[in-house]
Amino acid sequence: MKILHVGEYVNGGVATYLKTLVNGLQEYKDIDNYLVMSKYKSEQNWGDIQNKVTYYEYKRSILNIFKAMIFIYKFINEIQPDIIHIHSTWAGVFVRFPLLFMKKKAKVIYQPHGWAFLMDTSNLKKQIYIFIEKILSIPTDNIINISNYEQNKAIKYGFNKNKMVMIYNGVADRKNTGSMKIVMDKNKINLLFVGRLDKQKGLDFFLQTYEKYNFPNIHLYVIGRSILDNTVPQNTSKTTYLGWVDNKDIDAYYQACDAVIMPSRWEGFGLVAVEAMRNSKAIIVSNRGALPELIDNGINGYVFNLDDKNSLKVILLELNRNELKKEGIEGRKIYLEKFTDEIFVKNIYKIYLK
């Protein structure tokens, strides 16, 4: 069975997702994977599956959309896949828009990795995104949602529930062989933020509360850069900015901290939360998107109300290292029950067989 994975800018969480999926599918001898994606802004290192990756010349613009469609369909005709598995919104346009006017030769699975109409944007844009996605869902056989939140919202907005399936992302369990650039202060509760320094991830919201009030027993470490200008803010007495950290080293930072903070304004799933649970760390999350699905309040972390800054303040004031350690142990149990790569890959494989 030939599976063609189609992406646009394949980096960050989508790249991690695809690597986990395709590497895991190598255990199934009846599956033959191919990947096609933009050369610009996409992951270049694919390890054992590098020879299955094809890049097309593309930067996001109206003209290049049609160039991308032409390249992708030439590639589809060349390898004749049984299933086309589409990853993210723009790739969904490249593959499915032509299928509104031509005969479909392969089954089509679409995975938005977070619906565009659930982002924090204007109502007009939301309605446009919903309209486009509904039209493009016509030639789609299955739509994979990455959380119950995403699936329930799509069904609420009128998408065909019979085409919907929810499969949580999974991450591989692994031993920490990485190293750290810094030494965390053992006399303080060390919080870790991992992600882009943009509006979605909500670090600015967290800092408004964190810097306004006095939390003498807490220090914040930030892994990430601005996606627009690639800059790293200056360190302060309360916050250490580390920039991007190599993926092979990231678990060392998770294991050294006491808890992970995710103040996102919207989140289709929350891969950082699963990575934290894998490393037996408690997570403090906003009440937005799918994040409350991943956290049992007071069991493996805490959920605060993004509309109530006092909610976050109370949690931070009451943090206790012993409690965080217990919650991290519970998080590890939840990871093993729900979020391993084996569980995730097996569920995708079942969709392919269907």
User: What are the tens digits of pLDDT across the range 11-42?
Assistant: 878 888 999 999 999 999 999 999 999 999 88
pLDDT (0 to 100) of residue 228: 59
CA distances from 328 to 38, 105, 147, 255 (A): 38, 47, 22, 10
Per the CB < 8 A criterion, the answer to whether 44 and 143 are in contact is no
Asked if 223 and 312 sit in the same domain, the reply is yes
Asked if 284 and 255 sit in the same domain, the reply is yes
Residue with tokens 């309360």: 238
Q: How far apart are CA 25 and CA 123, in angstroms?
A: 39
Q: How far apart are CA 60 and CA 145, in angstroms?
A: 25
Asked if 51 and 125 sit in the same domain, the reply is yes
pLDDT (0 to 100) of residue 234: 83
Over the stretch 302-314, which tens digit does the pLDDT of each residue have? 999 999 989 999 9
Burial of 275 (0-12, 13-18, 19+ CB in 10 A): buried
Asked if 296 and 219 sit in the same domain, the reply is yes
| Banded model confidence at residue 198, pLDDT cuts 50, 70, 90 | confident
pLDDT (0 to 100) of residue 229: 61
Residue 353 reports pLDDT greater than 80: yes
Asked if 196 and 324 sit in the same domain, the reply is yes
Over the stretch 214-256, which tens digit does the pLDDT of each residue have? 899 999 999 988 765 666 678 888 999 998 888 888 999 999 9
7 SS3 class: strand
Q: How far apart are CA 298 and CA 106, in angstroms?
A: 46
Asked if 237 and 122 sit in the same domain, the reply is no
Domain that holds residue 33: 2-170+340-353
* Mean pLDDT for the stretch of residues 160-185: 89
pLDDT (0 to 100) of residue 231: 65
The DSSP secondary-structure symbol of 348 reads H
- Give the whole-number percent of the chain exceeding pLDDT 90: 75
Residue 331 reports pLDDT greater than 90: yes
Asked if 201 and 158 sit in the same domain, the reply is no
Q: How far apart are CA 195 and CA 222, in angstroms?
A: 8
pLDDT (0 to 100) of residue 275: 94
Asked if 206 and 153 sit in the same domain, the reply is no
Asked if 164 and 197 sit in the same domain, the reply is no
Dihedral class, residue 348 (left if φ above 0, else alpha if ψ from -120 to 50, else beta): alpha
Q: How far apart are CA 78 and CA 300, in angstroms?
A: 48
Quick check: is 221 in a domain? yes
Asked if 163 and 226 sit in the same domain, the reply is no
Q: How far apart are CA 217 and CA 219, in angstroms?
A: 7
Give the count of beta carbons closer than 10 Å to the beta carbon of residue 216: 7
Give the count of beta carbons closer than 10 Å to the beta carbon of residue 78: 10
Gyration radius of the chain over CA positions: 21
Over the stretch 52-64, which tens digit does the pLDDT of each residue have? 999 999 998 888 9
Over the stretch 89-148, which tens digit does the pLDDT of each residue have? 999 999 999 999 999 999 999 999 999 999 888 899 999 999 999 999 999 999 999 999
200 SS3 class: coil
Quick check: is 133 in a domain? yes
Asked if 134 and 281 sit in the same domain, the reply is no
Asked if 274 and 150 sit in the same domain, the reply is no
In the chain, what's the furthest Cα-to-Cα distance? 65
Quick check: is 60 in a domain? yes
The pTM assigned to this predicted structure is: 0.88
| Banded model confidence at residue 75, pLDDT cuts 50, 70, 90 | very high
pLDDT (0 to 100) of residue 248: 85
> CA 262, 265, 271, 274 torsion: positive or negative?
positive
Spatial neighbors of 182 by CB under 8 A, at least 6 apart, are: 221, 240, 242
pLDDT (0 to 100) of residue 329: 97
Residue 74 reports pLDDT greater than 90: yes
Least confident range from 198-202, 228-232, 316-320: namely: 228-232
pLDDT (0 to 100) of residue 181: 83
Structurally, the chain folds into a number of domains equal to: 2
pLDDT (0 to 100) of residue 47: 85
Tokens of 161: 């529930």
Q: How far apart are CA 121 and CA 344, in angstroms?
A: 30
**What is the residue type of 331?**
G
Quick check: is 177 in a domain? no
Which of 117, 128, 60, 56 minimizes the C-alpha distance to 90? 60
CA distances from 310 to 140, 201, 313 (A): 44, 19, 5
**What is the residue type of 171?**
V
* Mean pLDDT for the stretch of residues 167-177: 87
Quick check: is 253 in a domain? yes
Which of 354, 337, 352 minimizes the C-alpha distance to 274? 337
Mean pLDDT for all residues in the chain: 92
